[in-house]
Amino acid sequence: MKLVSFLIVSLLTIVVAIAFSGLTGQASVVNFPTNYQTKFFQYATVACPKSQIVRKMYVNPEVIDAIATTGTVPSDTIIAMETHSAKIGGDGRLIPNQLNNVFVRKKKTGWRVSNDSGEWQSTWYSPSGNLVSSSQGSCISCHTMVRDRDYLFTLPALLKAAKTNQMQYQKTEFGTSVCQ
Ligand code: HEC
């Protein structure tokens, strides 16, 4: 009798744990994509002239064909963005001189951190891959600005780069506090 109730309690604990992880959507921290600089495709460079920052965006190569043919971003897309401090060069272009952060977002069917986050989870790393923050709130609060682009500011550049195989260079369209 004792064994039966022990088994029932164990089973309930597991069921509750699974249900809870499903509800919160906190499946896991998005891993640091090791060797993204050589394995991923760099689809965009965004200049922030006022902030003197250059941001470089990379996408995992497995999803590029699907993005090019469907014009949408599939489950299992991983985007890594580097932020570099920069100097203004002779031609007025920004020249990156130090890598400071790597921001990673991953899309997975069924991931819902909040009602207005799309199916994305975010993590912030140091250049060497040490975790800086896995808190979702601040990332979500700004990326809701582009919910009509699947929460990706650079979706148009990503679509164009996937179709043409050409990295897109542009100045920030948005002028937010993090890139002006
Ligand atoms: C204040 C607004 C703001 C906050 C907060 C913010 N972002 Fe962004 N993010 C942007 C903008 C704007 C871009 C597009 C490039 C540009 O113009 O700076 C961007 C681009 C990105 C990209 C490249 C894909 C895309 O959406 O274009 C990733 C990845 C990213 N952010 C991750 C993060 C993560 C992770 C966090 C939280 C730790 C975060 N962001 C917080 C504004 C923000």
How far, in Å, from the CA of 124 to the mean position of ligand 1?
11
- Sign of the Cα pseudo-torsion (116, 50, 60, 124, in order): negative
CB 150 within 8 A of CB 161: no
pLDDT tens figures, 2-59? 666 666 566 555 554 544 444 444 446 899 999 999 999 999 999 999 999 999 999 9
Mean of per-residue pLDDT scores for the chain: 90
- Give the mean pLDDT of 90-102: 94
- Alpha carbon 116 to chain centroid, angstroms: 15
pLDDT tens figures, 138-177? 999 999 999 999 999 999 999 999 999 999 999 999 989 9
Q: Which domains does the chain have, with CATH numbers?
A: 27-171 (3.50.70.20)
- Report which protein residue has its CA nearest ligand 1's atom 26: 152
Pocket of ligand 1 (CB under 6 A): 46, 48, 55, 57, 79, 81, 103, 105, 122, 124, 133, 138-139, 142-143, 152-154, 172, 174, 176-179
* The two structure tokens encoding residue 78: 């991983």
Closest CA to 30 of 68, 53, 62, 60: 60
Q: How far apart (Å, rounded) are the C-alpha atoms in residues 56 and 52?
A: 13
How would you class 99 by CB atoms within 10 Å of its CB: exposed for 0-12, middle for 13-18, buried for 19 or more?
middle
How far, in Å, from the CA of 139 to the mean position of ligand 1?
7
* The two structure tokens encoding residue 163: 């179709």
- Report which protein residue has its CA nearest ligand 1's atom 24: 152
| Long-range Cβ contacts of 57-63 (<8 Å, 24+ apart) | 57/81, 57/154, 57/157, 57/158, 58/82, 59/158, 59/162, 60/33, 60/36
How far, in Å, from the CA of 140 to the mean position of ligand 1?
9
Q: Which residues pair with 59 in a beta bridge?
A: 41, 79
Q: What is the pLDDT of residue 8?
A: 57
How far, in Å, from the CA of 172 to the mean position of ligand 1?
11
Q: What is the pLDDT of residue 90?
A: 87
CA 103-79-146 angle, 5° bins: 85
